[in-house]
Structure 1
Amino acid sequence: MKYALGEFEEIVLLLVAAQHDQAYGLSITKAIEDQLNRAVTLSSVHTALYRLEDKGFVQSQIGGSSTSRGGRRKRLFSITATGKLALRESHDARNQLWSLIPKIIIE
């Protein structure tokens, strides 16, 4: 695989794509907990986001401040063209592996 993603990185990247330019650490953390019923820490999500940014799979920008955040601004993440390629490659690889399993095994 050209664009290797770890399992947690893939989840975070999928949620960045799903939240389309509105993804930030806490929104992704909550989505993982709500959608996957999986407990994660905000720091683990931030670590994955920064790793994905280093790999060129996401980019970030500082959003506007809000009174609900005490005037603090949040870092918003969006998927890059390379990130989209990484997700496509991961999706295709998983589908290929699923296709190898005899139907009787998973029915």
Structure 2
Amino acid sequence: MPESVGQFEQIILTAILSLRDEAYGVTIHEKAAELAEPKKISPGAVYVTLDRLEDKGLISSRLSDPTPERGGRSKRYYRLEALGEQALEESAATARRVWEAVEEIWGGIAGGVRRRPKWNPSRPK
């Protein structure tokens, strides 16, 4: 059973999945920032999370050959491992169930506007 992942880890895993062969630090940060809108994310948070996901065995990385446009430095490319794919699938399934429950309670979305009842907890008498 794969390890459960937090929301930010889900965003990073999704970014890697969507970027495929172009998943390296800068592109992962850009895609993650797009997915996290309107929240802002720092590159540092992305790199710390990449290290943690790699330690958990959910992703792996490799260094590219040095490139002249990077001053002879390599890029570190990331890819999802089988455990990362499983963790992301389970997270997506959970999110889907939560959304379906919320839609059922709120009555869905009509005309692009969410019809949400006001919070009215039952109070003991």
Classify the TM-score, shorter chain. 0.7 to 0.9
Q: 1:78 is matched by which residue type in structure 2?
A: R
Answer with 1 or 2: which has the greater Rg.
2
Using the size of structure 1 for normalisation, the TM-score is 0.88
Identity, % of aligned positions: 32
Q: 2:96 is matched by which residue type in structure 1?
A: N
- Identify the structure with bigger relative contact order (alpha carbons < 8 Å, sequence gap 6+): 1
Residue by residue over 1:57-79, the C-alpha shift from the partner in whole angstroms, topping out at 9 and shown as x without a partner, is 10001112112211100111000
Using the size of structure 2 for normalisation, the TM-score is 0.76
Distance, in Å, in 2 between the alignment partners of 1:22 and 1:64 is 14
RMSD over aligned Cα, in angstroms? 1.9
2:48 counterpart residue number:
47
2:21 counterpart residue number:
21
SS of residue in 2 equivalent to 1:77: strand
Residue by residue over 1:44-103, the C-alpha shift from the partner in whole angstroms, topping out at 9 and shown as x without a partner, is 111000100011110001112112211100111000011100010001011111111224
Q: 2:60 is matched by which residue type in structure 1?
A: Q
Q: Is the 8 A contact 2:66 2:72 kept in 1?
A: yes
2:107 counterpart residue number:
104
Distance, in Å, in 1 between the alignment partners of 2:57 and 2:66 is 26
Structure 1 segment 1-107 matched on structure 2, within 5 A = 2-37=2-37, 38-101=39-102, 102=104, 103-104=106-107, 106=109, 107=114
Structure 2: gaps spanning 5 or more residues: 115-125
